[in-house]
């Protein structure tokens, strides 16, 4: 379980998410961010089948593609996969709460968000020897998606302010959880 404050950053430049960002220490190697982090950026999504980290999707020959997404890359050191999946669900729930505040009829199913029958997001949680990683991709312009999809642009949600709010809310949730751990009296 993580014991250090979460560092957040919204990158100014666009980047393509291709699946390599889910590698351990991506934020350290590419951005100089040490420790637990949540990094957001805007850009296309283009993940071929062989780069997927979901066995069912890989076996089915699936791929990820969208013209423009908001990507969140989260890393927690010392975390197991079960904890990473719960953190992923919290992150997705926070995104849905922000959208509901805007009176958008969003529905969460596991780690995915939907508006009506159209998919708004993709997400994966995975673990390695060093850390747990989460990718949450929220469509802005879903053109090219392999399933019926919708994006923030169609919902009239400005992506960068939404990203800032989501990073802030997730960091606050992580900080609150650390505080809850620190103040608990052992059994």
Tens-place pLDDT, residues 136-165: 999 999 999 989 999 999 999 999 999 999
Per-domain residue ranges of the chain: 7-180
Q: How confident is the model at residue 100 (pLDDT cuts 50, 70, 90)?
A: very high
DSSP assignment of 88-100 equals HHHHHHHHHHHHH
Determine the 3-state secondary structure of 68 from DSSP.
Answer: strand
Could you tell me which CATH number the domain at 7-180 has?
3.30.930.10
The mean per-residue pLDDT over the stretch 161-178 comes to 96
In 20-137, where does DSSP find H-type helix? Answer: 26-31, 55-59, 81-101
pTM score: 0.92
Give the pLDDT score at 34. 94
Q: Is 116 left (phi over 0), alpha (psi -120 to 50) or beta?
A: left
């Amino acid at each position: 379980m993580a014991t250090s404050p979460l560092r957040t950053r919204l990158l100014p430049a666009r980047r393509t998410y291709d699946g390599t960002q889910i590698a351990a220490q991506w934020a350290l190697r590419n951005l100089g961010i040490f420790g637990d982090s949540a990094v957001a950026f805007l850009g296309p999504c283009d993940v071929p089948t062989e780069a997927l980290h979901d066995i069912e999707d890989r076996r089915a020959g699936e791929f990820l593609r969208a013209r423009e997404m908001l990507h969140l890359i989260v890393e927690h050191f010392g975390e197991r996969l079960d904890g990473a999946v719960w953190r992923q669900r919290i992150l997705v729930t926070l995104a849905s709460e922000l959208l509901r505040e805007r009176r958008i009829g969003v529905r969460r199913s596991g780690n995915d968000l939907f508006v009506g029958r159209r998919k708004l997001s993709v997400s994966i949680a995975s673990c390695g020897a060093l850390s747990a990683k989460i990718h949450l991709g929220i469509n802005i312009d879903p053109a090219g998606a392999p399933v019926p999809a919708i994006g923030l642009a169609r919902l009239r949600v400005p992506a960068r302010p939404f990203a800032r709010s989501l990073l802030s809310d997730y960091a606050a949730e992580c900080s609150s959880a650390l505080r809850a751990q620190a103040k608990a009296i052992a059994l």
